[in-house]
Every structure is written in structure tokens, then in C-alpha cells.
Chains A and B, each alone.
Chain A
């Protein structure tokens, strides 16, 4: 560990904070499509919000909807599934093999607690879309102020 002769750990950290703020500003000024984050796990998901409903979309081409398992518990959603490899006859020679197969499991924190009974999911053209309405118990209650 080197001891820096000038400055201290705090000033280094301040510079990193500045850099991070600059990068954030750079990204938010771009058109919306450019502001995306690399996914931590497969599959990549996009989250749309409106008031008390969240919609999560994921691209899962070639997966049978029966092989997808969505479970919701309080504020977490777990998306599990399996992609089967294609059936190929004997004597097959592969020229390109870019599509991967296998199992995946992704856990996702939701911004609010969700009622598991009201969750709906649809799968069309290889895109999975999950609608999660906020649980009634989780909605903020308005507190009236009584004038005393």
C-alpha cells in the first residue's frame, strides 16, 4: 500500500464521485434509448412503472411458456426457466453456434410489495411481460391532520 504524498483518501474519493456524476450526466443527456445498464444476470429485463403498477419485460425467445416459472413473494420476484436445445438429427455439422441453451434464474427486487394473486404474465413473440400491481396494504395511507 502506497502512502500518497499529496492529498488523502478522501480527495481521491471525491474525484471518483465527480467522475461518477459526470458519467451519470453524460448518460442522462442522451436520448432515452442510450440509458441502459448491463444486466447482472440472464435474462435482461426492462422495468416500466406507472403509479401503482409495475410492468417487467424480458426477452426470452424460443422458450416454451411452460418452462418459465415466475414466483412472487412480498417484494421479490424470482424468474426461473429453462431453454431446451434444438432437436437435431444425427450427422449434424454446426457452422455457427451462437444461441445458448440452459437454465436461468433471476431474482428481482420490486419497488413495492405485490399481491401475488393479482400478478399477470403474458408471453408473445418471445417477449415475456409481467404486470405487477401494488398490494393494497402497501399503498401509502393519507393521514389527515386534525386541527386541535
Chain B
């Protein structure tokens, strides 16, 4: 299924966040991280590329079925150096998703490794679903 292919140029470009609705209060640039979302029978997994981020600098909030990712990146500028040439910019990351009701919100897990965030969103299993009986009356 996966062919051997080279990573292309457009993979380096970062997309800036468009400020619609609520503005960001931080003064830094914000980018939209690239994510992969895939779904199996048991869970939905969201994998996001967040270089420069570790587990202390991510905020994941879930409110009324909207999952918001906010990652803060401190610029790692080497001491005393001048930036001679730049091909990428450094900034925060922000992206929000609307989840369906099928997600078991208690069981959400997140791990961060080498700048990649993996969010594991389990689906509600049959045992948790209750069938509501209708009584005639």
C-alpha cells in the first residue's frame, strides 16, 4: 500500500492559522499542524506533527464535542548566534476538531514522541449504550 516515494517540497510549507472568530491573545505566529486521522472499529486516532513540542507545552481541551489542540513552541535560538538563512518559521500550533457523539470522552489518551502527538479516542462500546425501553402509559 505504501510506495517508496520522496517527500515533496510542499510538505515543508506551514499553513498559518486564519483568525476567524476568537482571536489569539499570544503575540506569536500560529500554524495549523498537519494531522492524520484514521478510524478503526474501536477507536479514532489523530496523529499530529508538532515539531518543537513536548508533553509540557500542549493543551488539549474537550468542550461540548469540540477537541482543541493548542501547542506552544518556545523558539530555540542558539545563544549569541545570528539567523543567517531561514526556510521555516517557528510558531505555535492550533487546530480544532468536532467529535461525534460516538467517542468515549473518559477514555481519551494522548502521547507525544519526537514532536508527534498521538490522540487515541476510543469509541463507545456496545456495553455502554443503553437501550431505553418505552413503557406504554
Contact = CB atoms under 8 A, between A and B. Distances in A.
Contact of B87 (A32, A38, A103, A105): A38
A126 B50 contact: yes
Contacts of A104: 6-7
Nearest to A34: B89
B30 interface: no
A50 B81 contact: yes
B35 interface: yes
Given A39-B9, A48-B84, A86-B47, A93 B38 contact: yes
Contacts of A102: 4-7
A140 B73 CA distance: 38
A78 interface: no
A42 to B, nearest CB: 4
B76 A94 contact: no
Nearest to A54: B84
Given A42-B7, A50-B78, A104-B6, A126 B115 contact: yes
Given A37-B86, A48-B84, A62 B36 contact: no
Contacts of B25: none
B109 interface: no
A50 B93 CA distance: 29
A144 interface: no
B12 A39 contact: yes
B89 A36 contact: yes
B109 to A, nearest CB: 16
Contact of A50 (B41, B80, B86): B80
Interface residue range, chain A: 35 or more
Nearest to B32: A98
A135 interface: no
B88 A47 contact: no
Interface in B46-78: 47, 49-54, 76-78
B96 interface: no
Contacts of B40: 88-89, 91-93
Given A38-B13, A62-B115, A95 B39 contact: yes
Contact of B36 (A38, A42, A49, A86): A86
| The 10 A-B residue pairs with the shortest CB-CB distance in the complex, in nearest-first order | A126-B115, A61-B115, A126-B51, A44-B88, A48-B81, A59-B51, A44-B87, A98-B34, A62-B116, A44-B12
11 contacts: A36-B88, A45-B85, A45-B87, A63-B114, A88-B38, A93-B38, A93-B40, A98-B34, A126-B50, A126-B53, A127-B115
